[in-house]
Structure 1
Amino acid sequence: SAGNTGALMAGALMVVGRIKGIKRPALAPIIPTRTGNMLIIDAGSNTDCDEENLMQFARMGSIYCSYVLDIENPRVGIFNIGSEPGKGNEVTKKVYKLLELSDLNFVGNIEGRDIPFGKADVLVCDGFVGNAILKSMEGIALFLLDMMKEELMRNWVTRMCALVLKDGFKRIAKKMDYSEYGGAPLLGINGACIKAHGTSNAKTIKNAIFQARKYVSGGVIDYIHKEILSGVDISG
């Protein structure tokens, strides 16, 4: 769906419900980085979270990266205002300690400037922070592309340079195009639920359908179930 996120969440909870043992489902979009892609969880579903919620987000994000994005032993980081272990509020400090003790591939705190360089595969945060990160990066990408276009069209010399560099710019634009990624899964829902961008086109919806198919074939829901049923505390 490319509709309202809150309505989609409410509908998903009513129709298929949440996976047993999961406290809150989370929106998990993929963003491009210098080294590949990064999953942000949560990106708008839950504005206030405790340490148990964030630990569940970390687990679900790691499973999704493993079985849908084909990332072996995904690196998990917490978004924070500094890289040192003692940084952040009480919740992030508690989550840091819990992740250190977990079996996840925890890489520590991730600052805002580290995000574009892909220092983690899964970035854990509450929905308020995650949505701000997502919208800020989207705005910066559009700003940079517009500014580059304006400068390259300034005179005949820059136009010639643009012609030479056209293929490179197309590759950059493709990597930053949200339609290439389909949408963001609602992890924790007991079914495949993909939230597409509000301005989605046919290409976006097509990729979201392919994404949902891989979500199901990858067995993400089953793996989350198995972690709970096998006695692994998904909250840490």
Structure 2
Amino acid sequence: MTDQVRIAIDAMGGDHGPAVVVPGAALALRERPGTRFLLVGDEAQIRPLLEREPALAAASDVVHTTVSVRMDDKPSQALRSGRRTSSMWMAIDAVKSGRADVAVSAGNTGALMAMSKICLRTMAHVDRPAIAAMWPTVRGVSIVLDVGASIGADAQHLVDLSIMGAAMARIVLGIERPSVGLLNVGVEEIKGLEEIKAAGRMLRELGLPSLDYHGFVEGDDLGKGTVDVVVTEGFTGNIALKTAEGTAVQIGRYLREVMGATWMSRLGYFMAKGAFAALRERMDPRRVNGGVFLGLDGIVIKSHGGTDALGYARAIGVGHEMVSHDLLARIRDQLALSQEAQTAAAALPGPAPDAAGPP
């Protein structure tokens, strides 16, 4: 494990900028003493907030820039107008140059992914990066990827996602051989797109020691926590993520309406207040804030743009864990083993021709 983790922060990213980022970093520092921070953004806004957090000020360096990526900027616009001078780019570049171990931003997701891919590049044997998210389940937490980095995936990409997701699960969940499932329209092997069925065959045949391939899983398995890692392509994954977030908001509103409808329901709420508080905590999206960009030659964490200081601290904590447990080395090792296994399988002779068939 790495002793000291250096975290570069896009202080201007997100809906609230330094007003949330700085208190979030201070909270993260209290949880993980010894962390060093590189705060990138408008020094005139950052310094007054640092004065309220002397411990964070002592553990931080500030890199000044007044250029920031807006939340509604298209990735192409952000690259043209903010490349190399924006707080987002400079935080990512700190990872590339070795001044930081991980970059954290609550900014524009598309711009963050585009800049990260251009600045850091992808790992060997990885065509496209993915966003991996922690997903609350009835069993605890699962890892789901890709939740929006790119649209579409061939069989090899789904296999790579499985390997990368399993590497993250070993760190986050502490499971040596995480179970992995491919999200599909049914659990039967004959169902689904050809790419998904081909990926399933590849995972079964490879028999990778780093993961336990469960098979296909369906949408309701996400909440059940049927497997430790759920793999899908980015279009489907993003729809699933937004649907789950919307459903959580919907249930919360239903509960508030029902609990306040009559004096009897209000009394019932008062009697069960502790239980509702526990439910609210389990449904709190801040607990699982922080998406990991997997497949890059560097670690980048995406925080939800509208989160508060607690949620931002959780995103920083995810980055800290990924660095401390050497996520990149784990992924590289497992991808290399997968390539070796596929090369060996391709070198094997094919099945003997049928004697009764044509010559």
TM-score bracket, shorter-length normalisation: over 0.9
Q: State the shift of 1:234 in Å.
A: 8.3
Q: CA separation in 2, counterparts of 1:145 and 1:189?
A: 36
Q: By how many angstroms is 1:16 displaced?
A: 2.2
Q: CA RMSD in A?
A: 1.6
Question: Does residue 144 of structure 2 align to residue 40 of structure 1?
Answer: yes
Secondary structure of 2:110's counterpart equals helix
SS at match of 1:31: strand
Change (3 A) 1:138 1:80: same
Letter of the structure 2 residue corresponding to residue 222 of structure 1:
A
Could you tell me whether the CA contact under 8 Å between 2:163 and 2:334 is conserved in 1? no
Counterpart for residue 286 of structure 2: 179
Q: Distance in 2 between matches of 1:225 and 1:77?
A: 21
Contact 2:136 2:288 in 1 (8 A): no
1:126 match: 233
8 Å Cα contact 2:290/2:316 also seen in 1:
no
Following TM superposition, by how much is the alpha carbon of 1:235 offset from its aligned partner in structure 2, in angstroms? 9.3
Alignment of 1:1-236 (within 5 A): 1-101=105-205, 102-103=207-208, 104-229=211-336, 231-233=337-339
Distance 2:275 2:324 in 1: 34
Letter in 1 for 2:286: S
Q: SS of the residue aligned with 2:338?
A: coil
Bigger relative CO (Cα 8 Å, ≥ 6 apart): 1
User: Counterparts of 1:151 and 1:47 in 2: how far apart (Å)?
Assistant: 39
Residue ranges of structure 2 left out of the alignment (5+ in a row): 1-104, 343-359
Check whether the contact 2:163–2:335 (CA below 8 A) recurs between aligned residues: no
Q: Per the alignment, in what secondary structure is the counterpart of residue 28 of structure 1?
A: strand
Q: Alpha-carbon deviation of 1:14? A: 2.5
User: What is the identity, as a one-letter code, of the residue corresponding to 2:172?
Assistant: V
Equivalent residue letter for 1:65: A
- The percent identity for this pair of structures is 33
Q: Which whole-Å deviations, capped at 9, do the CAs of 1:165-212 have from their partners, x for residues lacking one?
A: 222222222222221122110011122211111212211111111110
Structure-2-length-normalised TM-score: 0.63
TM-score, normalised on structure 1? 0.94
**Which blocks of at least 5 consecutive residues in structure 1 are unaligned?**
none
How far does the alpha carbon of each residue in 1:43-92 deviate from its partner, in whole angstroms, 9 at most, with x for none? 00111111111110000000100023312321100111111111101111
